Structure 1
Amino acid sequence: MFHSKTPFGEKDPVSGVIISCKLSGIRFFYAEVCGILFYDVLMGGCARLKSALLIPHTGKEVPYLIHPVEPKKVLCIHDLSGMGRCSLAVILPVLSVMGVQPVALPTVVLSTHTGGLGTPARLDGCAYGEQALEHYHALGVEFDCIYTGYLGGEDQVALAEKAFALWPAAKKIVDPVMGDNGKAYSTVTPALIDRIRALCGAADLILPNYTEAQILLQRQPQTELLTDEAAQALADELTALAPGAVVTGLPLGKYIGCAGSGKDRFLIKKLHISRSFPGTGDLYGAVLIGSLLQGNALSAAADNAAEFVALSIQNTPAAQDTRYGVWFEPLLPRLCPASSAE
């Protein structure tokens, strides 16, 4: 049985694996699975390995890393909704494909999200979360980042506070999920708002939407259009609460915007698409955090996130039931980190 020739080497007719003999004594195989390149050394020569792999369909070379860098770890304290493309169901695949190791800590497990799919089955995760944090700490696990999202009660806020205390060196990013479209969620009480505001005060970066930013600033949420100057000013006001803030969902006429405060002030605008989906805030936050951990500036990370959310909405057919979220999965290969030549 013979291997078929390809621009990148010989292809095994049974397995479909492409074999490259670029250097004498060294062979590589690699295959594309879900758009990710996998490779290994088949025959010796590791000590003198300075070769390169060819990326399929491009002919470009990327260096083979003899000493791979350990992926950064993000502790994700969010709810887990089985259906609906939101929270951990979105965050985990996005961070993974961006080269980051997400560690899930579900605050609550739901069969679906709560946005119009009936009453979901529910399993509270607070007791599990307490034990998981203690276990990770006992193992000596170190987190590069702690990312919190929906916290449905004061007990769940306490879980996030404990994580912050156990890993003080981790970058702390809080998405203060409390409301949208000018209204607080029905489960959000004044006491919970105070606890979440205090949690934001312990964070390095907060990611409120337009409604949540106003709640944090103790204002009655409004939905009126903003000028560019007013949008930037709103983000700047949040520096009294946290060193950095990115406010999302800002209505700027025919645009939807996000504004960043702190030393890297910015305003990013994308054309407004008049369709509303659950989970787009989680998608935005995950891409932003993955981009930050790849070494991007906050403004670049925010732009990457806004662009990916916009593409995901555009990729979702108009006839699709919006309650089930955006079709982001086919676009995940776009988020794979590019290898740089040495």
Structure 2
Amino acid sequence: MKYIAPKTVLCIHDLSGAGRCSMAAAAPVLAAMGHQPILLPTALFSTHTGGLGQPAAQMCGGYGPAALQHYRELGLQIDCIYSGYLAGTGDQELVRRAFEFWPEALKIVDPVLGDGGRFYTGMEDKLPGVRELCRGADMILPNLTEACLLLGLPQPQQELDQAGAGALAEELAGLCGQTVVTGLPQGRHLACAGGGKERFVVQRLRIDRSYPGTGDLFASVLVGALLRGNAVSAAADAAAGFVAEAIENTDPAANPALGVWFEPLLGRLAGRGV
């Protein structure tokens, strides 16, 4: 059997001990897909902040820059830099420094700012810095709310058709050359749309259940598929399909704040061609 070296992914995210989101989703997904995640937490939380009470929190402060310097001194090859929730301007600078240390890496930014038409608490003043990170990235993965915030547009008052979804993704391409916008409502479906080098819209039947962390799950599968050499549209299709499977696999009676039961499905990612 021919040996294929895993791609190394520097994951700059927060880590929640309970609740399937951020780094707790990225690490197992990327590992199952044959890659090596290098975990660089920006903050530690006992739980995520979506419905599990007030979490215990610890900002990682000077750990991140010291860790980056150590990895650089080791001469580690970083194939991809994948960032998510950044709690402060120091975390944004951490991502910028990683971009400078490994300029040849694929740079993917999930610009975590808000959802449901509004900012997450405390993220309003982070918008300019996140926008600048997006300009330095190769690809960004905003949801619909974040796409409008990045562009300075009002939140849409009606559902987007395929043309509208494509136009929004294409407008974002002026900020970053390749974009994938998620969470686009289209009647009985949810869609993601790509703009820039590859234009597409991927639809999935809407499941009438909502869970935190599904955006992180989508982004992580998409990153893993891209690093396997898939086109952006194929990677987005695989990611949307896996999220839908994970929702279907989750007991409707379970506490939704704990996220979707994706762990039993990880073997499917390992065995897929995406």
The correspondence for 1:201, drawn from 123, 129, 135, is 135
Q: Is the 8 A contact 1:71 1:101 kept in 2?
A: yes
Find out whether 1:319 has 2:253 as its counterpart: yes
| Equivalent in the alignment of 2:240 | 306
Following the alignment from structure 2 to structure 1, what is the Cα–Cα distance between the partners of residues 177 and 65?
28
| Equivalent in the alignment of 1:22 | none
Unaligned runs of 5+ in 2: none
| Equivalent in the alignment of 2:48 | 113
Q: Quote how far apart the aligned CAs of 1:89 are.
A: 0.6
Following the alignment from structure 1 to structure 2, what is the Cα–Cα distance between the partners of residues 136 and 198?
24
Name the SS of the counterpart of 1:326 in structure 2: coil
Name the SS of the counterpart of 1:289 in structure 2: helix
Q: Please show how residues 1-342 of structure 1 align to structure 2 within 5 Å.
A: 64-65=1-2, 68-190=3-125, 192-222=126-156, 224-337=158-271
Decide which structure has the larger Cα Rg and report it.
Answer: 1
**RMSD in angstroms over aligned alpha carbons?**
1.1
Structure 1: 4+ residue segments shifted above 4 A: none
Larger helix percent: 2
Per-residue CA deviation, residues 201-253 of structure 1 (Å, 9 max, x unaligned), is 00000000000000000123235311111011000001110010000000111
Following the alignment from structure 1 to structure 2, what is the Cα–Cα distance between the partners of residues 309 and 79?
20
The letter of the residue matching 1:99 is: G
Q: Is the 8 A contact 1:205 1:242 kept in 2?
A: yes
Following the alignment from structure 2 to structure 1, what is the Cα–Cα distance between the partners of residues 150 and 4?
38
Q: Is the alpha carbon distance of 1:137 and 1:117 closer, same or farther for their aligned partners in structure 2, counting shifts above 3 Å? A: same
The letter of the residue matching 1:140 is: G
Q: Is the 8 A contact 1:312 1:326 kept in 2?
A: yes
The letter of the residue matching 1:185 is: Y
Name the SS of the counterpart of 2:230 in structure 1: coil
Q: Is the 8 A contact 1:182 1:223 kept in 2?
A: no
The letter of the residue matching 1:203 is: A
Q: Quote how far apart the aligned CAs of 1:155 are.
A: 1.0
Following the alignment from structure 1 to structure 2, what is the Cα–Cα distance between the partners of residues 222 and 262?
21
Following the alignment from structure 2 to structure 1, what is the Cα–Cα distance between the partners of residues 92 and 61?
10
The letter of the residue matching 2:192 is: C
Per-residue CA deviation, residues 256-312 of structure 1 (Å, 9 max, x unaligned), is 000001121100000111211011011001100110111110000000000000000
Tell me whether 301-310 or 159-168 shows the greater mean CA deviation.
Answer: 159-168
Q: Quote how far apart the aligned CAs of 1:126 are.
A: 2.8
Following the alignment from structure 2 to structure 1, what is the Cα–Cα distance between the partners of residues 211 and 52?
13
Larger strand percent: 1
Following the alignment from structure 1 to structure 2, what is the Cα–Cα distance between the partners of residues 214 and 125?
30
Q: Is the alpha carbon distance of 1:223 and 1:88 closer, same or farther for their aligned partners in structure 2, counting shifts above 3 Å? A: farther
- Compute the TM-score of the two structures, normalised by the length of structure 2: 0.97
Q: Is the alpha carbon distance of 1:284 and 1:338 closer, same or farther for their aligned partners in structure 2, counting shifts above 3 Å? A: closer
The letter of the residue matching 2:61 is: C
Following the alignment from structure 1 to structure 2, what is the Cα–Cα distance between the partners of residues 278 and 145?
25
Following the alignment from structure 2 to structure 1, what is the Cα–Cα distance between the partners of residues 212 and 115?
11
Q: Is the 8 A contact 1:154 1:195 kept in 2?
A: yes
**Number of equivalent positions:** 273
Q: Is the alpha carbon distance of 1:71 and 1:211 closer, same or farther for their aligned partners in structure 2, counting shifts above 3 Å? A: same
Greater RCO (Cα-Cα under 8 Å, separation 6 or more): 2
Q: Is the 8 A contact 1:99 1:337 kept in 2?
A: no
The letter of the residue matching 2:245 is: L
Q: Is the 8 A contact 1:143 1:167 kept in 2?
A: yes
Q: Quote how far apart the aligned CAs of 1:139 are.
A: 0.5
Following the alignment from structure 1 to structure 2, what is the Cα–Cα distance between the partners of residues 274 and 181?
15
Name the SS of the counterpart of 1:70 in structure 2: coil
